[in-house]
């Protein structure tokens, strides 16, 4: 019996996505890329989902990047398409970009639970997430230049904005990996947690987010993302627009009322 390369699980308003190819270090096959892209598109439109967790199966890797035997030869023309997944990956624009949250608005927070090494395309996915927890043995690398290619799912733009420029360039140009502690010090990850605590810690954060007002959460993420690279004044304009959207909601009235009444707020996203 074959198993799905992507596992999905709902825990209340939290959707957990698990890359499920541990035998291949969770490498991104055409099928996995298509399934993940479809699931993310559905999650972005589902009002019942308020936060996502992305992780990998096993302890050997979060994601080792594009499958060197299946995906990369297909994209370079070295392998002819053989399956429906192959044809979708070649013919549907934006599938590989969507899984890296590139050119795709995922207006809900995404938490990365990094259960092991995070390489190449796996790291490009990571750079599109919002909160990142890593196990002590996690490592991070973009080795594309050593393989004759380049990162093309956002890393060339995002990495120097998220960590110091010199470290970003060293990683990109040499392909060398950094360890979890270096990633933490550089701000690439939020915290390091023991392996057994990884998913409970990620779920605790996700549930706290899911309990907050969903429109407020959406506008916070949307504004922070859109303001990157803008002048302060242009960023303030985006912030003002977000304020107008949020303050017009029922949730903006429910929050202060619940606080005064000393009860838990109940938000409906309207």
What count of residues does the chain have?
Answer: 270
Does the active-site annotation cover 219? no
Cβ–Cβ < 8 Å for 110, 129: yes
Transcribe 163-215 into DSSP letters: S-HHHHHHHHHH---EEHHHHHHHTSSSEE--GGGHHHHHHHHHHHHHHS-HH
Q: Which two tokens stand for residue 5?
A: 């390369």
94: alpha, beta or left? (left if phi > 0; alpha if psi -120 to 50): left
Pairing of β 191-192 and β 131-134? parallel
Cβ–Cβ < 8 Å for 140, 118: yes
Q: Residue 15: which of 202, 191, 153 has the closest Cα?
A: 202
Q: Which of 23, 45, 59, 124 is catalytic?
A: 124
Residue with tokens 């407020």: 216
Q: Which of 144, 204, 211, 219 is catalytic?
A: 144
Does the active-site annotation cover 170? no
Cβ–Cβ < 8 Å for 21, 57: yes
Q: Which two tokens stand for residue 18?
A: 């698990």
| Helix segments in 21-142, DSSP class H | 30-45, 71-76, 84-91, 95-98, 121-127
Q: Residue 4: which of 40, 35, 27 has the closest Cα?
A: 35
Catalytic residue ranges: 124, 144
């Amino acid at each position: 019996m074959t198993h799905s390369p992507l596992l999905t699980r709902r825990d209340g308003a939290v959707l957990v996505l698990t890359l499920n190819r541990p035998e291949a270090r969770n490498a991104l096959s055409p099928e996995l890329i298509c399934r993940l892209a479809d699931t993310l598109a559905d999650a972005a439109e589902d009002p019942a989902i308020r936060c996502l967790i992305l992780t990998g199966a096993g302890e050997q890797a979060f994601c080792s990047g594009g499958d060197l035997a299946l995906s990369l030869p297909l994209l370079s023309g070295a392998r002819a398409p053989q399956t429906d997944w192959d044809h979708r990956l070649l013919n549907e624009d934006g599938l590989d970009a969507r899984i890296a949250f590139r050119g795709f608005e995922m207006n809900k927070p995404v938490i990365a639970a990094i259960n092991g090494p995070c390489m190449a395309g796996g790291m490009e996915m990571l750079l599109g997430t919002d909160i990142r927890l890593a196990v002590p043995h996690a490592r991070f690398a973009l080795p594309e230049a050593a393989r004759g290619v380049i990162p093309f799912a956002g890393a060339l733009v995002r990495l120097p904005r998220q960590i110091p420029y010199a470290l970003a360039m060293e990683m990109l140009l040499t392909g060398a990996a950094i360890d979890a502690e270096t990633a933490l010090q550089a701000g690439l990850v939020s915290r390091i947690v023991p392996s057994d605590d990884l998913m409970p810690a990620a779920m605790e954060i996700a549930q706290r987010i899911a309990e907050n007002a969903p429109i407020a959460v959406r506008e916070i993420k949307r504004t922070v993302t859109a303001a990157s690279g803008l002048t302060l004044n242009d960023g303030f304009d985006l912030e003002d627009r977000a304020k107008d959207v949020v303050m017009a909601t029922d949730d903006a009235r429910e929050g202060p009322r619940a606080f005064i009444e000393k009860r838990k707020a109940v938000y409906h996203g309207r």
